Amino acid sequence: RLHNSYDDLLLLKNARELKIQYGEGSGTAVYNNFMYYNVYNSRDMGKLDLNTNKLAVRKTLPNAAYGNRFSYAGVGWQDMDFVVNESGLWVIYSTEDNTGNIMISKLNETTLDVLHTWNTRQYKPSISNAFIICGVLYATRPVNTRKEEIFYTYNTDTEQEGKISIIMDKMLETIQSINYNPSDRVLYVYNDGYLVKYNLIFQPMLH
Ligand SMILES: *[C@@H]1O[C@H](CO)[C@@H](O)[C@H](O)[C@H]1NC(C)=O
Ligand SMILES: *[C@@H]1O[C@H](CO)[C@@H](O)[C@H](O)[C@H]1NC(C)=O
């Protein structure tokens, strides 16, 4: 369902509805009028043209696990989690070779070819969800039913992982999706039926 503006979304009006067939899981992302998703029962990625509702590109993500093999802790079938920012498209997933740990691939948004891949040592099914800001992947885990912790980072520039602890309040227990939007610097979180916004403040790291 596509709304013309964020206000329309909040008021549940002015929506255009498209039905896509053969998509799997909730790791989709929309970017430049295309929607990226995991094609049903395959390790293929789909790029759907939202103007025409036609599949523009279908491409295999090499070795990707699929079919609810290594989803996140709080949500099934999110084998592929697509991430966008102003300058690109990424996918967070896992493979048998990397024993279920998180893999990150940067994609060519035109062709869906893999441009670069990073292997992490963080087991994907043990985290609630993940998002990427400025080339750094952040992973979260529950602290209790009302608090979530951003606890793990992987920097694709330095290929280093790190530990942090940023506690976030949540409405209910389970997080199904987290996405960062660089244009408004907001984290959009889907939490048991609530769409929750978190405004982010960035500050330099002091060593
Ligand atoms: C993506 O693919 C298109 C079409 O093949 C090509 O023109 C473009 O240079 C590629 N971009 C990158 C970043 O590789
Ligand atoms: C977007 O991704 C690129 C890597 O493709 C990264 O260099 C850049 O910092 C990111 N920008 C933002 C605002 O996250």
- 110 ligand 1 Cβ < 6 A: yes
Q: What's CA 194's distance to the chain center, in Å?
A: 17
CA 116 / ligand 1 centre spacing (Å): 13
The pLDDT, as a whole number, for residue 22 is 85
**Dihedral, CA atoms, 99, 100, 101, 102, nearest 10 degrees?**
140
The pLDDT, as a whole number, for residue 203 is 86
- The H or E element spanning position 46 is strand 44-49
The pLDDT, as a whole number, for residue 24 is 92
For residue 111, give the ligand 1 atom closest to its CA.
2
Whose alpha carbon is nearest atom 11 of ligand 2? Answer: 134
The pLDDT, as a whole number, for residue 185 is 93
The pLDDT, as a whole number, for residue 206 is 76
- The H or E element spanning position 7 is helix 6-11
The pLDDT, as a whole number, for residue 130 is 97
- 155 ligand 2 Cβ < 6 A: no
pTM summary value: 0.92
- 87 ligand 1 Cβ < 6 A: no
Distances (CA, A) of 54 to 58, 66, 105, 172: 11, 23, 24, 36
Q: Which residues of the chain have pLDDT under 70?
A: 86
CA 17 / ligand 2 centre spacing (Å): 31
- 86 ligand 2 Cβ < 6 A: yes
Cα-only R_g, the chain: 17
